[in-house]
Amino acid sequence: MASMADSPTIAFTLDGEAMTAFRGETLLGAAKRHGVAIPQLCAKDGLRPDGNCRACVVEIEGERVLAPSCCRQPSEGMVAHSSNERARKSQRLVVELLKADMPDTAHNLQNELDDWANFLQVGKSRFPAREQPAADISHPAIAVNLDACIRCTRCLRACREEQVNGVIGYARRGDEASIVFDLEDPLGTSSCVGCGECVQACPTGALMPAGGVGLEAPQRSVDSVCPYCGVGCQLTYHVRDNRILHVSGRDGPANQGRLCVKGRYGFDYVHNRGRLTVPLIRRDDAPKRAELGLDPDNPYADFREATWEEAMACAAGGLKTIRDTHGADALAGFGSAKGSNEEAYLFQKLVRTGFGTNNVDHCTRLCHASSVVALLEMIGSGAVSNPVRDAVHADVIFIIGSNTTVNHPVAATFLKNEVGKGKTLIVLDPRRTPIAEHATHYLQFKPDTDVALLNALMHAVIEQGLVDQAFVDSRTSGYAELAEHLKPYTPEKMAPICGIDAATIREVARIYAGAAASIIFWGMGISQHVHGTDNSRALISLALMSGQIGRPGTGLHPLRGQNNVQGASDVGLIPMVFPDYQRVDDPEIRARFEKLWGQALDPNPGLTVVEIMHAVTAADPARRIRGMYIMGENPAMSDPNLNHARAALSKLEHLVVQDIFMTETAWYADVILPASAFPEKTGSFTNTDRRVQLGRQALATPGQARQDLEIIIDMARRLGLDWRYQGPPDVFSEMRQAMPSIAGISWERLEEQGSVTYPCESEADPGQPVIFIDDFPTADGRAHFVPAPFTNADELPDDAYPWVLITGRLLEHWHTGSMTRRASVLDRIEPDPVAMLHPDDLSRLGARIGEPIQLSSRRGSITAFAGADPGLQPGQVFLPFCYHEAAANLLTNAALDPAAKIPEFKFCALQVAAA
């Protein structure tokens, strides 16, 4: 690729004009830079040039035949012609040949072939047409009309080389050659993951969004970011009549134009008829019940419509009464990692100043709380050390407990790209997930034995003399204790425990520690255990002792789940810290915030998510939580041991839920406030890489639904706070005062650059993607080793419950499914709850694929359909938690990690029977 850092130095002549090209730049690229248009069809920025269409051929003096300008690089003194008679003749004939085979009816509004035909003044083709292939409308998201295919293979390169999904092939040969999916299967039954990169790449409409939306002209295109995972892909909404027609990927720093199926096709939840559009108040004759009775056909049965004034008066009044009667600690709030930084900041400030308590938390507690606790404890910062795309500088990529292609699909594409360049990918996971297919080393260890394996790896690093002693001496403390602690964890002793042989443990240790640069990624397979903090501690120690941190291509990257879980945590939506992780129990810090916010603050850390649910049912009335304000979270689906969580919700004296849908949680509410969906608001969002990015409003809110920020401000005023924020920029400028990490980011800068990485301490600071280069943000500047002992899960399998339940997510469905189950394309692809078992287990049980099976734990029982996944180990069951009709969390164990209070979603004992 062209290295644009230098100045263009290669002098050549094109069409009689003297030009200069960068080293590595193509003729086509250099021509474009000089304002010369050369027809191009198979060439597309971001894809490897292939030179197959020959529309861009040029005459190079001294050469026998024409050359494709997309693949040829200018050489010093080259004389080329793109518009002389010879070059133009071939360009025209190429376009005329392809036009002969185009269908009469177009599938899109703008066809690149037609554009170039117009440019070259090619009229109706004189050549006979081909036999046209059948359309393939078998996929819910993508329409395949190969009658418009010019076989340029842009889709193939997008699928195989960019996204590395390997679905699209080019079969047969000559004029029989064709774009195919898998074994020439219908797209809808192929292995297609629906990322739509092929659609974005297609120049002629042969691949288009389903349903003919490509033939409707958008009125507006709004640049925003994706509302789903923490990768933070930038995208553009194409809007007509206040409806999103389709979505395209934008060239953002985290996604480079790429999207996944959720980001590209999961947008129509905003138009779902189940959107809340009117405030609702619980009917007097509808008392709360513990067991979820939400009827999808009649979801509002227990509620009546209200005016905003009545609803807000009721919502705020109920909270105020509890506060004034039982004290601030009788209240709690759950904010949302789906909302903006501004919303999260105001929400926690409302709870801390309006309620007067630190009982504020959000779903970070359920995903990476343990990672954050360990990171804060050991290296003084809870965020990632290096961005995902720093993998480009790594030699070894180490992924543990992360189903990356499913949960961070676009991040995974960049990691797969690196493997394609020949780098080493080590994947460690009890469940063989799709990323393992790309691994050079895959370690399928036994569930629950992370610490045993990681300690053995560290033992092997020491034993093989691969400790970075200089780094350990100058940058860390506590190594001697760790080394002592690790002595008994020999690979031989750990092998039978974790199921990985000693030689492999030694090899992986050698590869990781011995590489010039190794980077670690982890997901909820590490964090969601009662020993989640110990798992993370072991990982951090491994990186520290190997000196694999503080440089490009190294470091620790817990892949963050929600689109704004990083930001929500940063702005203090957690019970023990103010914005920027400043502890509430530190008097000096508290004094600073009391000054900023103008009132006295609660000095005690508040309760966490699961603790709050337990406090609702506390026996001691003095310690009972009686009222809650829940914004955009769904604990009635996402908490462990749902029967308890739901019972707790039903016992609340006053519950205010602010959401866009009638969620399972809203069903327990006293007041429901209809709010704004992601594309209906503007705000800043912080991705897993610490990039602060701007989401922009593309749609008006439906009906009477209001902006979340407005609702929070209204609530605050009704609780007696004199808040006068005019909108997100106002809130953001206050956040900058509270948070040194983003002091250098102004709202204007965000609008201009779209993405700024923190720490960004001043307006001159470009942002720091790689941190800990010189020191760690701890009191002494050193990282601190914390030894992690090997312990077991809270509930081990036994004779009564002999199976292990692992919960998690699906590619198509986001968390509790409140958005994606209402996104038509996504729900059509994955409509049913399926429990995955090893195929041998299925036969042993006498269960058939697709038939119902019964799953029971000590806490609950559900029925799901049986599925076969040879990536599981026998005895394991995987169940996604997005299906209300088979809610996985009815089964899970609410046991908590003692340090982080994260529940053990990844392990509980289970009984399975054919239903």
Site map 565..604 versus other proteins, x via CB under 8 A? ----------------------------------------
- Single residue of 28, 150, 332, 669 touching other proteins by CB under 8 A: 150
Residue 529 has which token pair?
A: 């255990």
91-110 residues in contact with other proteins (CB under 8 A) are: 93-94, 97-98, 100-101, 103-104
Of 85-93, 475-483, 643-651, 709-717, the segment contacting other proteins by CB under 8 A is 85-93
- Residue 124, C-beta contacts closer than 8 angstroms, at least 6 positions apart: 99
- Residue 222, C-beta contacts closer than 8 angstroms, at least 6 positions apart: 236, 237, 239, 679, 696, 697, 698
Give the separation between CA 535 and CA 363, rounded to whole angstroms: 20
Of 168-176, 311-319, 657-665, 742-750, the segment contacting other proteins by CB under 8 A is 168-176
Q: Give the burial class of 860: count Cβ atoms within 10 A of its Cβ; 0-12 exposed, 13-18 middle, 19 or more buried.
A: middle
Angle at 602 between CA 729 and CA 715, to 5 degrees: 45
Closest Cα to residue 537, out of 606, 613, 458, 607? 458
- Single residue of 168, 711, 819, 899 touching other proteins by CB under 8 A: 168
Of 86-94, 230-238, 645-653, 708-716, the segment contacting other proteins by CB under 8 A is 86-94
Taking CA atoms, 774 is separated from 69, 474, 517, 771, in Å, by 46, 10, 17, 8
Sequence letter at residue 97: L
Q: Give the burial class of 250: count Cβ atoms within 10 A of its Cβ; 0-12 exposed, 13-18 middle, 19 or more buried.
A: buried
Quote the least distance from Cβ 342 to other proteins, whole Å. 38
Of 146-154, 543-551, 570-578, 764-772, the segment contacting other proteins by CB under 8 A is 146-154
- Single residue of 36, 71, 392, 483 touching other proteins by CB under 8 A: 71
Is residue 170 a contact residue for other proteins (CB under 8 A)? yes
Pairing of strands 908-914, 852-856: antiparallel
Quote the least distance from Cβ 474 to other proteins, whole Å. 41
- Single residue of 19, 155, 193, 657 touching other proteins by CB under 8 A: 193
Closer to other proteins by Cβ: residue 226 or 836:
836
Is residue 39 a contact residue for other proteins (CB under 8 A)? no
Is residue 171 a contact residue for other proteins (CB under 8 A)? yes
- Single residue of 31, 43, 167, 260 touching other proteins by CB under 8 A: 167
Quote the least distance from Cβ 206 to other proteins, whole Å. 12
- Single residue of 134, 301, 503, 516 touching other proteins by CB under 8 A: 134
What's the distance, CA 417 to chain centroid? 18
DSSP-derived secondary structure for 289-313: -SS----TTSTTTTEEE--HHHHHH
818-847 residues in contact with other proteins (CB under 8 A) are: 828-832, 834, 839
- Single residue of 9, 110, 118, 191 touching other proteins by CB under 8 A: 191
860-899 residues in contact with other proteins (CB under 8 A) are: 865-870
Is residue 420 a contact residue for other proteins (CB under 8 A)? no
Give the separation between CA 57 and CA 70, rounded to whole angstroms: 8
- Single residue of 88, 107, 157, 160 touching other proteins by CB under 8 A: 160
Of 188-196, 296-304, 451-459, 519-527, the segment contacting other proteins by CB under 8 A is 188-196
Quote the least distance from Cβ 900 to other proteins, whole Å. 33
426 bridge partner residues:
398, 441
Is residue 90 a contact residue for other proteins (CB under 8 A)? yes
Site map 422..461 versus other proteins, x via CB under 8 A? ---------------x------------------------
- Single residue of 16, 62, 174, 621 touching other proteins by CB under 8 A: 174
Is residue 68 a contact residue for other proteins (CB under 8 A)? yes
Of 25-33, 162-170, 228-236, 558-566, the segment contacting other proteins by CB under 8 A is 162-170
Is residue 915 a contact residue for other proteins (CB under 8 A)? no
Is residue 137 a contact residue for other proteins (CB under 8 A)? yes
Give the separation between CA 478 and CA 756, rounded to whole angstroms: 35
Is residue 86 a contact residue for other proteins (CB under 8 A)? yes
Closer to other proteins by Cβ: residue 58 or 495:
58
Quote the least distance from Cβ 911 to other proteins, whole Å. 20
Of 7-15, 120-128, 649-657, 674-682, the segment contacting other proteins by CB under 8 A is 120-128
637-696 residues in contact with other proteins (CB under 8 A) are: none
Quote the least distance from Cβ 259 to other proteins, whole Å. 18
| Long-range CB pairs of 86-94, under 8 A, 24+ apart, other chains included | 86/59, 87/57, 87/58, 87/59, 88/120, 90/54, 90/57, 90/66, 91/38, 91/39, 91/55, 91/56, 91/57, 91/120, 92/120, 92/121, 92/122, 94/39, 94/53, 94/54, 94/55, 94/57
Closest Cα to residue 151, out of 134, 171, 136? 171
Is residue 135 a contact residue for other proteins (CB under 8 A)? yes
Please answer whether residues 672 and 657 qualify as being in contact, where contact means their C-beta atoms are separated by less than 8 angstroms.
yes
Is residue 30 a contact residue for other proteins (CB under 8 A)? no
Closer to other proteins by Cβ: residue 3 or 105:
105
Give the separation between CA 52 and CA 37, rounded to whole angstroms: 18
Of 21-29, 179-187, 701-709, 711-719, the segment contacting other proteins by CB under 8 A is 179-187
Please answer whether residues 257 and 725 qualify as being in contact, where contact means their C-beta atoms are separated by less than 8 angstroms.
no
Strand extents, DSSP E, 280-411: 280-282, 303-305, 331-334, 360-361, 396-400
Is residue 623 a contact residue for other proteins (CB under 8 A)? no
Is residue 808 a contact residue for other proteins (CB under 8 A)? no
Pairing of strands 861-868, 876-880: unpaired
Closer to other proteins by Cβ: residue 199 or 675:
199
Of 167-175, 444-452, 749-757, 764-772, the segment contacting other proteins by CB under 8 A is 167-175
| Long-range CB pairs of 604-608, under 8 A, 24+ apart, other chains included | 604/358, 605/358, 605/575, 605/576, 606/332, 606/357, 606/358, 606/359, 606/360, 606/361, 606/575, 606/576, 607/332, 607/359, 607/361, 607/575, 608/361, 608/365, 608/369, 608/575, 608/901
Of 82-90, 271-279, 523-531, 551-559, the segment contacting other proteins by CB under 8 A is 82-90
- Residue 419, C-beta contacts closer than 8 angstroms, at least 6 positions apart: 164, 397, 425, 438, 439, 440
Is residue 206 a contact residue for other proteins (CB under 8 A)? no
Quote the least distance from Cβ 404 to other proteins, whole Å. 16
Quote the least distance from Cβ 175 to other proteins, whole Å. 4
Is residue 52 a contact residue for other proteins (CB under 8 A)? yes
Give the separation between CA 607 and CA 112, rounded to whole angstroms: 58
Pairing of strands 861-868, 834-837: parallel
- Single residue of 23, 48, 130, 289 touching other proteins by CB under 8 A: 130
Closer to other proteins by Cβ: residue 607 or 823:
823
Please answer whether residues 148 and 183 qualify as being in contact, where contact means their C-beta atoms are separated by less than 8 angstroms.
no
Of 177-185, 358-366, 453-461, 882-890, the segment contacting other proteins by CB under 8 A is 177-185
| Count, residues near other proteins per rule CB under 8 A | 81
Give the separation between CA 213 and CA 271, rounded to whole angstroms: 15
- Single residue of 128, 296, 621, 846 touching other proteins by CB under 8 A: 128
Cα first-last separation, the chain: 58
Task: Calculate the CA dihedral of residues 768, 773, 777, 782 and round it to 10 degrees.
Answer: 170
Is residue 172 a contact residue for other proteins (CB under 8 A)? yes
Closer to other proteins by Cβ: residue 384 or 853:
853
Residue 29 has which token pair?
A: 């690229």
Give the separation between CA 171 and CA 490, rounded to whole angstroms: 51
